């Protein structure tokens, strides 16, 4: 174990700490979910799951370490997409800054 970190500048730019604000611990794209937040979804959320960027995430939870992804085009009898819960390390970040945020740094 060494004292110097091995992160590249591109990884540091994509992490939530570099942007100053972090997405919520849990978020869903399903409007019926209690974890649905339209204003945050409009900013765009990036998800990295098991060191791969995923674009097919329906819901995620960082603290519990899981994501839900749609199972193809399959739906249940009510028309809701069938989902799989995948367990592993999850990272999330905003793809765009907040509308009222100032980007001037000097």
Q: Give the other-Cβ count within 10 Å of 49's Cβ.
A: 20
How much is the pLDDT for 57?
A: 95
Is this prediction's pTM over 0.85?
no
CA 51, CA 80: separation in Å to the nearest integer?
Answer: 28
CA 63, CA 45: separation in Å to the nearest integer?
Answer: 16
- Give the model's confidence band at 101: pLDDT under 50 very low, under 70 low, under 90 confident, else very high: low
Enumerate residues 6+ apart whose C-beta is below 8 A from 47.
53, 54, 55, 57, 60, 67, 90, 91, 92
Enumerate residues 6+ apart whose C-beta is below 8 A from 61.
25, 26, 67, 90
Q: Give the number of residues written for the chain.
A: 106
Choose between 105 and 68: higher pLDDT.
68
Taking only the tens place, the pLDDT of each residue in 20-69 is 588 999 999 999 999 999 999 999 999 999 999 999 999 999 999 999 99
Q: Which tokens in the block code for residue 25?
A: 């611990």
């Amino acid at each position: 174990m060494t004292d110097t970190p091995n992160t590249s500048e591109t990884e540091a730019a994509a992490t939530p700490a570099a942007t100053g604000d972090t997405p919520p611990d849990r978020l869903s794209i399903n409007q019926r979910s209690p974890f649905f937040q339209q204003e945050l979804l409009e900013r765009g959320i990036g998800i990295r799951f098991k060191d791969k960027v995923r674009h097919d995430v329906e819901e995620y939870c960082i603290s519990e370490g899981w994501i839900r992804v749609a199972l193809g085009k399959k739906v249940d009898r009510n028309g809701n997409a069938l989902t799989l819960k995948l367990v592993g390390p999850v990272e999330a970040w905003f793809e765009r800054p907040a509308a009222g945020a100032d980007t001037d740094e000097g």
